[in-house]
Amino acid sequence: MIKRLSKVTPFLFFPLSVGDDFVQEIAEFLQKNAEGGLLPFSVQQEAGQRFSLHIAEVEEISLGHDLLPARYQRNRTMISTQQQLSLLRSKVAVFGCGGLGGYIIEELARLGVGRITVVDPDVFEEHNLNRQLLCTQELLGIKKVVAAEQRVAAVNPAVRLQAFDVAFGHGNSAEILKGVTVAADGLDNIPVRLDLAEACNDQNIPLVHGAIAGWSGHVAVQYPGENILQHLYAGKKTGHGVEKRLGNPSFTPAAIASLEVAEIVKILLRTKPLLPRRYLAMDLYHMEFTEVFFPDGDP
């Protein structure tokens, strides 16, 4: 017995101009070729070719019929098939494709977040090689968003990536944030972070913020209507913090990016949020995590 999809068409990436019978035919093909409730990628690919569908469309039909693409099998006890469908239908915008952004994009793609928007105007330079996941010798001089596109395509072809090779600002915030479920802050200067926080509030989008310097970093979540970044950066007119003097090693962005993604996933899946009105300061040198609570109201 095939479980019929309910309300699937409005969520499809490329809305099918065909009826439910076609969806059912595809679902039958997938179910016939699934192995123990798991859909091997080879079958997903074959279905894409046979029915002229994007891998993401096949994935949506598969998940809608309780078949989990085999790549996600090790997530199964934490993320159900239904939740995987929610991730596929989500859109996360990642601001900055450097130290934090590279790891955030990688982790979102492996999780199967269906749409990722990446924003960064820069190209890779030699001093990025010590920490930026997307930066390789071969990609020096190449735009960071292009590297993000290549990486995501190589890791998970079900993910659709939208790239903006521009600096985020008031002029483009509405376009970039259109349809975004959650925004991830991987920026590298304070005034733009504050602009992003304001734009997210204007558009009612939760923002997961992270920042790093040397062995240290912090992470915080700004839910719409809150102003945690204004508390964190109250009265700061300078563009940068102590990272300008300390630099950043490989492990600090990886750690803070992972904390950010853990928060993003919980927001996308609407599970209990970890960090409302507080921020978590991380010090890897002393191996200490410190929790700071913020009051309501203005800083």
Partner 1 sequence: MQVTVKLFANFRNNRFNKEVRTIAPDITVGAIVTELAIAREEVGVILINGRHGSLDQTLVEGDTLSLFPLIGGG
**Positions that interact with partner 1 (CB under 8 A):** 96, 98-101, 185-190, 193, 210-218, 231-236, 238-244, 246, 248, 253, 279, 281, 283, 285-286, 288, 290, 292-295, 299
Query: Phi/psi of residue 61, each to 5°?
Result: -65, -40
- Number of C-alpha atoms within 13 angstroms, CB side, residue 142? 15
Q: Which is nearer to partner 1, 43 or 259 (CB)?
A: 259
Least separation in angstroms between residue 214's CB and partner 1 is 6
Least separation in angstroms between residue 150's CB and partner 1 is 21
| Helix 55-64 vs helix 81-88: crossing angle, to nearest 10 | 150
Q: Which is nearer to partner 1, 101 or 114 (CB)?
A: 101
Could you give the CA distance from residue 87 to residue 59 in angstroms, rounded to a whole number? 11
Least separation in angstroms between residue 207's CB and partner 1 is 14
Q: Which is nearer to partner 1, 8 or 280 (CB)?
A: 280
Could you give the CA distance from residue 165 to residue 177 in angstroms, rounded to a whole number? 14
Least separation in angstroms between residue 284's CB and partner 1 is 9
Least separation in angstroms between residue 99's CB and partner 1 is 6
Q: Which is nearer to partner 1, 164 or 294 (CB)?
A: 294
Burial 246-262 (b: 16+ CB within 10 A, else e): eebeeebbbbbbbbbbe
| DSSP-assigned beta bridge partners for residue 280 | 219, 291
Residues in the chain: 299
Least separation in angstroms between residue 291's CB and partner 1 is 10
Q: Which is nearer to partner 1, 72 or 103 (CB)?
A: 103
Do 126 and 109 contact (CB within 8 A), yes or no?
no
| DSSP-assigned beta bridge partners for residue 39 | 69
Residue 76's closest CA among 65, 64, 88, 84? 84
Count other Cβ atoms within 10 Å, centred on residue 83.
17
Q: Which is nearer to partner 1, 16 or 246 (CB)?
A: 246
Residue 192's closest CA among 206, 178, 172? 172
Q: Which is nearer to partner 1, 71 or 209 (CB)?
A: 209
Least separation in angstroms between residue 31's CB and partner 1 is 44
Query: Coil, strand, or helix at residue 118?
Result: strand
